[in-house]
Amino acid sequence: MHEQFFLGRGPRGFHRLAYTEWGAAAGRPPVICVHGLTRNGRDFDYLAHALESERRVFCPDIAGRGKSEWLADPVDYNYAQYLADMTALLARTGALAVDWVGTSMGGIIGMLLAADANTPIRRLVVNDVGPFIPLAALKRIGGYVGATPEFADLKALEKYVREIYASFGWLGDEEWHHLAMHSARKLPNGKLALAHDPAIAKQFLAVEKDVDFWEIYDRIRCPVLVLRGAQSDILPAEVAQQMTERGPKARLVEFPKTGHAPALMNAEQIGIIAAFLRG
């Protein structure tokens, strides 16, 4: 694994985007793994490590997250910008076809790209998100997206991460420590804060109705695997079921005792994804 950077371009100029790259060139298409709203590409370390013997794997930090540059104007934290940035990453892979694994926001980006004509996405894994998202669930997430807590040390930050991401499902101490370590950024005062721009909340909190893009989902033609936490409010059970009946008629796998969103760190979840991507 090694860290890389590339330039994205937005309304106010260029911005620097970070990603980790795993594996070496092989005969199979590379895999692009994209994280959720306040997360970063290091969430996929366990999955990428499992795939790297047979694939190149690219795990970007979306603008304003992880080690990627924060955008000058919060209004630019939107899907048009994310799609432009990920198109630049697609070009950087040098591949004509890729597989996509997206958690929550990353799954939405994947669906939007997969619905386009001549899409390079060959297979799509959508982790705990669908083409209909209830407003109540968005408001729940909005309760912590814009928060700016400071922590005396990594132990305190990890305690907070365990609390707000408890719905990820069962994780061991090693996995929680991994998430915490890559969720931290150092402040000038020596304390720690979360590794995302709190300003991403501005656009997110502006949503005032259910999100509905079924007409886009119905245009997807590649094979789709939908993963769902059985207790998820972001992907209601009835929406997940509809995703198996219309559009690409996805395959659905649910994980018990898990909410939004399955962490994709344990052997069972990784094995399901790897088998689907092998096709």
Query: Which secondary-structure segment (H or E) carries 70?
Result: none
- SS3 (DSSP) at 198: helix
Which has the minimum average pLDDT: 8-17, 162-171, 196-205, 213-222? 196-205
> Does position 25 have pLDDT exceeding 80, yes or no?
no
Within-domain flag for 79 = yes
Within-domain flag for 76 = yes
Within-domain flag for 153 = no
Residue 47 is part of which domain span?
2-131+211-278
Tokens representing 127 are 């982790």
Query: Please, are residues 135 and 209 in contact by the beta-carbon 8 Å criterion?
Result: yes
**What pTM value is reported for the model?**
0.97
Mean pLDDT confidence for 199-207 = 88
Beta bridge partners of 98: 121
Q: What is the CATH number of the domain that holds 68?
A: 3.40.50.1820
pLDDT for position 86: 98
Within-domain flag for 88 = yes
What does the radius of gyration of the chain's CA atoms come to, in whole angstroms?
17
pLDDT for position 202: 87
Strands in the chain per DSSP E: 2-10, 13-22, 31-34, 57-60, 98-103, 121-127, 132-133, 184-186, 192-194, 211-212, 224-229, 251-255
Mean pLDDT confidence for 19-23 = 97
List phi, psi (to 5°) of 42: -70, -10
pLDDT tens across 133-190, in order? 999 999 888 878 888 999 999 999 999 999 999 999 999 999 999 999 999 999 999 9
81: Cβ–Cβ under 8 A, 6 or more apart, which residues? 8, 10, 63, 71
pLDDT for position 26: 75
Strands in 11-97 per DSSP E: 13-22, 31-34, 57-60
Tokens 């052997």 belong to residue: 267
Within-domain flag for 245 = yes
Length of the chain: 279
Within-domain flag for 109 = yes
Q: Measured at the alpha carbon of residue 272, what is the angle toward residues 57 and 54, in degrees to the nearest 5?
A: 35
Query: Please, are residues 120 and 92 in contact by the beta-carbon 8 Å criterion?
Result: no
Within-domain flag for 154 = no
pLDDT tens across 67-116, in order? 999 999 999 999 999 999 999 999 999 999 999 999 999 999 999 999 99
Number of domains in the chain: 1
Residue 236 CA: distances (Å) to CA of 223, 251, 256: 21, 16, 14
Within-domain flag for 244 = yes
pLDDT for position 194: 97
Peptide bond into 267 cis (omega under 30): no
pLDDT for position 147: 85
Question: For residues 111 and 113, what is the distance between their CA atoms, to the nearest angstrom?
Answer: 5
pLDDT tens across 33-70, in order? 999 999 999 999 999 999 999 999 999 999 999 999 99
Beta bridge partners of 17: 6
